[in-house]
Amino acid sequence: MTEARAAAGDRAPGFQAVQRAFAAHVRNPDRHPAPAGVDAQRMAVYARLVYRNIEGFLTRTFPTARKALPEAHWHAAVRDFIDRHTSHSPYFRDISTEFLRYLETERDVPEDPPFLAELCHYEWARTSLTQSDEVLPPAADDALSLDARFAVSPLAWPLHYRFPVHRIGADFQPEAPPDAPTWLIVYRDRDDRVRRLESNAATTRLLGLLAEAGSARQALTTLADELGRDRGQVLRFGEDTLRRLVSAAVVAPIPGPPEAVVVGAAKE
């Protein structure tokens, strides 16, 4: 047994070297030679299958980004991702997240559109919301009251970008960010459709305050003080905004008197 283990140990480094060469060639056949003694046609089949599966998955997740790049540029980006990126997750479903991480932290190609990483983040968010197992807060039939507490939907994501990513397409590809940033709320509604609301910094802050405050009135009062605005004006603005957010299922009033609600109970 000891001799058998020793013999296996002697062979292991060579076998691992073949494995590494095999994987490297599959990731990028143009940059890494195939391991010696492996049929070239079989290696080509493996390489094509891996590339087509990953590229197809990324195309479905990032359709606008795919169309925004010239054909060769897109394929070069996908190939470079497959070749160089070390994934944090072993699951195929997480490839889009890994590609986004690659764009944000590794890729530095001057020819890329300056909006590419932000556009891909926006498309990734929409896909993630479509696939999420989170549940919307229950709808309430009561009339809207500023004295109620409000639950923010886990399927509503406030997003902030330098570029107007929701407008980018074949006919609009800005070369520089505009002076004003883009604020969006991307959300899944009660019909399981992913939608977006154009937003602003104040509304995004309001969502954060609603998750912490004892009532919408408290959240809006805090917002007014932070902005240095008249409280009455902000309360009127906030009531209109809340109606819009409730209608979109971005927020929902929590039943019961505010003092009876435990902070964080909506997450149970």
Judgement on whether residues 107 and 154 belong to the same structural domain of the protein: no
In a domain, 60, yes or no: yes
Residue 222 sits in a domain whose CATH number is 3.90.930.50
pLDDT value for 264 = 36
In a domain, 126, yes or no: no
Task: Catalogue the E-assigned strands of the chain.
Answer: 150-152, 156-161, 182-188, 194-198, 251-253
In this predicted model, what pLDDT tens digit does every residue of 168-184 receive, in sequence order?
Answer: 998 899 999 999 999 99
Judgement on whether residues 107 and 163 belong to the same structural domain of the protein: no
Name residues whose C-beta falls within 8 Å of residue 180's C-beta, 6 or more positions apart in sequence: none
List the structure tokens of 196: 């977006």
List the structure tokens of 23: 């994987």
Residues of the domain holding 227: 150-267
pLDDT value for 2 = 41
Judgement on whether residues 106 and 205 belong to the same structural domain of the protein: no
Residue 156 bridge partners (DSSP):
187
Mean pLDDT of the chain: 88
CB 174 within 8 A of CB 180: no
- Of 243 and 46, which is predicted with more confidence? 243
Q: How many domains does the chain have?
A: 2
Does position 8 have pLDDT exceeding 50, yes or no? no
pLDDT value for 258 = 52
Q: Of 68, 63, 180, 67, whose CA–CA distance to 115 is shortest?
A: 68
Please state the separation of Cα 126 from the chain's center in Å.
7
In a domain, 186, yes or no: yes
pLDDT value for 30 = 81
In a domain, 138, yes or no: no
